[in-house]
Structure 1
Amino acid sequence: MKLTVVGGGSTYTPELVDGFARLRDTLPLDELVLVDPATDRLDLVAGLARRIFARQGHPGRIRTTADLDAAVDGADAVLLQLRVGGQAAREQDETWPLECGCVGQETTGAGGLAKALRTVPVVLDIAERVRRRAPGAWIIDFTNPVGIVTRALLQAGHRAVGLCNVAIGFQRRFAALLGVAPADLHLNHVGLNHLTWETGVRLAGPEGDDVLPKLLTDHGDEIAAALRLPRPLLDHLGAIPSYYLRYYYAHDEVVRELRTKPSRAAEVARMEKELLTLYADPALDEKPALLARRGGAYYSEAAVDLAAALLGAAASPYQVVNTYNRGTLPFLPDDAVIEVQAAVGQKGATPLAVGPVNPLFTGLTANVTAYEHLALEAALHGGRDRVLTALLAHPLIGQYEYADALTDRLIAHNREHLAWA
């Protein structure tokens, strides 16, 4: 079995490799190919990756290349974890929206649109090359904004599923609070990528007892503190929102915070320099503790489970993924990409039925779905008017004065990545 990681020089990659090594019985890889144009980073990451495999006795081969076509040739699955423009572009995404009083974040709001515009054309080019070189391969997208990127892939007819680590993070946290095994918890996870709510937490499968009320009663303060949201809000919702909902439920507070501290991009850039120094140590043969602060917790477990299910190597029945709606949420178009529990197998992901959804959630979800449709149109076809339209549709922007000013800033800061600008 051959798996290719596009963006293999990312400092995330040792987390992924650690999962491949530990869970080799679930996903028996013969060959792992790391591809990245940044060959200096790639060599450091690959050196640690090989040492992790050796320490854990994994027999698979790890190969590196800057040649994308060679990397994906004959692959069974291709995992995308790239960042067009690197941390420098992320720094911009998190900065210039604040000039207009709007949240600066790499996947939400104007910064998220900028990332989509940079990313979608690159991902679609990669996917076409996968289709030519490995026509049966599954594409697993971990590249943000996952919902928009996955929709672009599916709309172009690619065999693709989107992946995010928010749900598995909640599953692990809730299991620890309840004193049960993570596999015993089934989340009623509803919404879009980075716009989701846990409306139920069930023991022993989708029909099991709902322990969400107990979680909120016994551990609501702790959960709210971790999300940096008020406990009364969780009680009012009767659900546990993704931490990305803080950008909506506490937008102005977040903007004030972001204006008074270094950006997350700057923090990550410093962390990456330190991680790469650690990776260069030939004695290091496990992922360092610092990597946990980089983000992407449990990414490897989620990726292994998803790849294994798609390739028929395991029968993990239910996983939270990003895929076409197809009537699952009746208030959204069929071709919207939603993030829900699905049955995953060699034919792809089939969303599980979702019960009635609180109108408080459906309104915001429908609004952001409309924005994502317009964002994809802008990413595919370009043009200032399409960018402006998408920003007008976003619930965190909306006002024409802001949308107009943000459009000019977005184009100015991303001109080198926009073929039409």
Structure 2
Amino acid sequence: MKLTVVGGGSTYTPELIDGFARLRDTLPVEELVLVDPAAERLELVGGLARRIFAKQGHDGRIVTTSDLDAGVDGADAVLLQLRVGGQAARQQDETWPLECGCVGQETTGAGGLAKALRTVPVVLDIAERVRRTNPHAWIIDFTNPVGIVTRALLQAGHKAVGLCNVAIGFQRKFAGLLGVTPADVHLDHVGLNHLTWETGVRLGGPEGEDVLPKLLTGHGDTIAADLHLPRPLLDRLGVVPSYYLRYFYAHDEVVRELGTKPSRAAEVAAMERELLQMYGDPALDEKPELLAKRGGAYYSEAAVDLAAGLLGGGGSPYQVVNTLNRGTLPFLPGDAVIEVQAAVGPNGPTPLAVPAVDPLFAGLMAQVTAYEDLALAAALRGGRDRVFKALLAHPLVGQYAYAEGLTDRLIAHNREHLAWA
């Protein structure tokens, strides 16, 4: 089996490598290709990757290259984890929206739109080259904003599935609180990427006992603290929202906080410099503890599970993925990309049935889906007016004066990445 990681020079990659090494019985990788245009980073990451494989007794071959076409040739699956513009662009995404009194975040709101505009054309170009070289390969997208990027891929007819680590993080967290193994925990997970709610926590599978009420009663304070949301809100909702919902449920509070501390991008950039220095140490043969603070926890396990399912090698029977709605959530268009539990096999994901969704959550999903429609149109066709309309539709913006100011700033900060600007 051959897998290719586009963006293989990312500091995330050793987390992925560690998972491939540990879980080789689930996903027997014979050749792993790391593709990245940043040769110096790729050399550091590739060296550590080979040492991790060697330490854990994995006999798979790790190849590094800047040649995308050669890297994807013959691959069974291609994982996308790229960041167009690097951490410098992320720093901008997290700061200029604050000038208009809006949340600065790299995957949602105005910053998320900027990232989508930079990313979608690049990802579609990569996917077309994968299709020309190897039309049967699955594309697994971990590149944010996952929902919009996955929709662009599917709309263009690619064999694509989106992946996020939020659900697997909740699964591990809840398993620890309940004193069971992660495999015992099945989440009733529903929403859009980075706009999701855990409406049930079942033991043993989709038909198992729902212990979410018990979990909220016994561990609500811990869960609320992790989400930085008040416990009474969780009790009133009766569900566990993704931590990204804090941008919606406590927008003004978050804006004030973000204005008083260094950006997450600045923290990550400093962390990356330290990680790359570590990766250059020839004695290092395991992922360093610092990597856990970088983000992307359990990404490797989710990626292994998904790739194994798509390639017919097993994996968990049900997995949370980003895929086409096709009637799963009847209040959304069929071609919307939703994030739900699905049975995953060689023909792709099949979403499980979802009970009726509370209007409190369905309404926000519908509004953000409309924004994503407009965001994708702006990413594919360009134009100031399309950017403005997408921002005006986003619930974290919503006012025309904000949308005007944000449009000007978005274009000014991203002009080098926008062919139409």
Match of 1:193 in 2: 193
Is the Cα contact below 8 Å between 2:26 and 2:315 reproduced in 1? Answer: no
Match of 2:214 in 1: 214
- Deviation for aligned residue 1:48: 0.3
Choose 306-315 or 5-14, whichever is displaced more: 306-315
Letter in 1 for 2:73: D
Partner deviation per Cα, 1:145-201 (whole Å, 9 max, x = no partner): 000000000000000000000000000000000000101111000000000000000
- Deviation for aligned residue 1:315: 4.7
In 2, the alpha carbon distance for the partners of 1:303 and 1:163 equals 7
Match of 1:179 in 2: 179
- Deviation for aligned residue 1:258: 0.5
2:1 pairs with 1:37: no
Matches within 5 A, 1:262-341: 262-341=262-341
- Name the SS for the 1:63 alignment partner: strand
Choose 345-354 or 307-316, whichever is displaced more: 307-316
Match of 1:404 in 2: 404
- Name the SS for the 1:338 alignment partner: strand
Partner deviation per Cα, 1:256-286 (whole Å, 9 max, x = no partner): 0100100000000000000001000000000
Is the Cα contact below 8 Å between 2:304 and 2:315 reproduced in 1? Answer: no
In 2, the alpha carbon distance for the partners of 1:315 and 1:243 equals 27
- Name the SS for the 2:104 alignment partner: coil
- Deviation for aligned residue 1:21: 0.1
Matches within 5 A, 1:405-420: 405-420=405-420
Letter in 1 for 2:7: G
In 2, the alpha carbon distance for the partners of 1:400 and 1:313 equals 51
Is the Cα contact below 8 Å between 1:344 and 1:350 reproduced in 2? Answer: yes
- Deviation for aligned residue 1:250: 0.5
- Deviation for aligned residue 1:40: 0.1
- Deviation for aligned residue 1:61: 0.1
Is the Cα contact below 8 Å between 1:165 and 1:302 reproduced in 2? Answer: yes
What stretches of structure 2 of length at least 5 have no aligned partner? Answer: none
* Structure-2-length-normalised TM-score: 1.00
Letter in 1 for 2:72: V
Aligned residues: 421
Matches within 5 A, 1:45-194: 45-194=45-194
Is the Cα contact below 8 Å between 1:190 and 1:198 reproduced in 2? Answer: yes
Letter in 2 for 1:62: I
Match of 1:7 in 2: 7
Letter in 1 for 2:396: L
Is the Cα contact below 8 Å between 1:26 and 1:314 reproduced in 2? Answer: yes
- Deviation for aligned residue 1:317: 1.2
Partner deviation per Cα, 1:45-74 (whole Å, 9 max, x = no partner): 000000000000001000000000000011
In 2, the alpha carbon distance for the partners of 1:314 and 1:60 equals 19
In 1, the alpha carbon distance for the partners of 2:195 and 2:316 equals 25
In 2, the alpha carbon distance for the partners of 1:317 and 1:24 equals 17
Is the Cα contact below 8 Å between 2:80 and 2:142 reproduced in 1? Answer: yes
- Name the SS for the 1:281 alignment partner: coil
Is the Cα contact below 8 Å between 2:306 and 2:315 reproduced in 1? Answer: no
Letter in 2 for 1:120: V
In 1, the alpha carbon distance for the partners of 2:157 and 2:292 equals 35
- Name the SS for the 1:191 alignment partner: strand
In 2, the alpha carbon distance for the partners of 1:150 and 1:353 equals 21
Is the Cα contact below 8 Å between 1:195 and 1:244 reproduced in 2? Answer: yes
- Name the SS for the 2:132 alignment partner: helix
Letter in 2 for 1:221: D
Partner deviation per Cα, 1:271-312 (whole Å, 9 max, x = no partner): 000000100000000000000000000000000000000000
Letter in 2 for 1:261: K
In 1, the alpha carbon distance for the partners of 2:20 and 2:292 equals 17
Choose 106-115 or 312-321, whichever is displaced more: 312-321
In 2, the alpha carbon distance for the partners of 1:365 and 1:235 equals 21
Letter in 2 for 1:402: Y
In 1, the alpha carbon distance for the partners of 2:235 and 2:130 equals 46
- Name the SS for the 2:3 alignment partner: strand
Q: CA 1:300–1:315 in 2, change beyond 3 Å: closer, same or farther? A: closer
What stretches of structure 1 of length at least 5 have no aligned partner? Answer: none
Q: Which runs of 4+ in 1 moved over 3 A?
A: none
In 2, the alpha carbon distance for the partners of 1:299 and 1:237 equals 28
Letter in 1 for 2:37: P
Partner deviation per Cα, 1:177-233 (whole Å, 9 max, x = no partner): 000010111100000000000000001110110000010000000000000000001
- Deviation for aligned residue 1:387: 0.2
- Name the SS for the 2:301 alignment partner: helix
Is the Cα contact below 8 Å between 1:315 and 1:345 reproduced in 2? Answer: no
Letter in 1 for 2:2: K
In 1, the alpha carbon distance for the partners of 2:236 and 2:159 equals 39
In 1, the alpha carbon distance for the partners of 2:130 and 2:64 equals 17
In 1, the alpha carbon distance for the partners of 2:237 and 2:156 equals 37
Is the Cα contact below 8 Å between 1:6 and 1:80 reproduced in 2? Answer: yes
- Deviation for aligned residue 1:316: 2.2
Identity %, equivalent residues = 85
* Structure-1-length-normalised TM-score: 1.00
Letter in 1 for 2:134: A
Letter in 2 for 1:18: D
Letter in 2 for 1:81: Q
- Name the SS for the 2:248 alignment partner: helix
Is the Cα contact below 8 Å between 1:321 and 1:339 reproduced in 2? Answer: yes
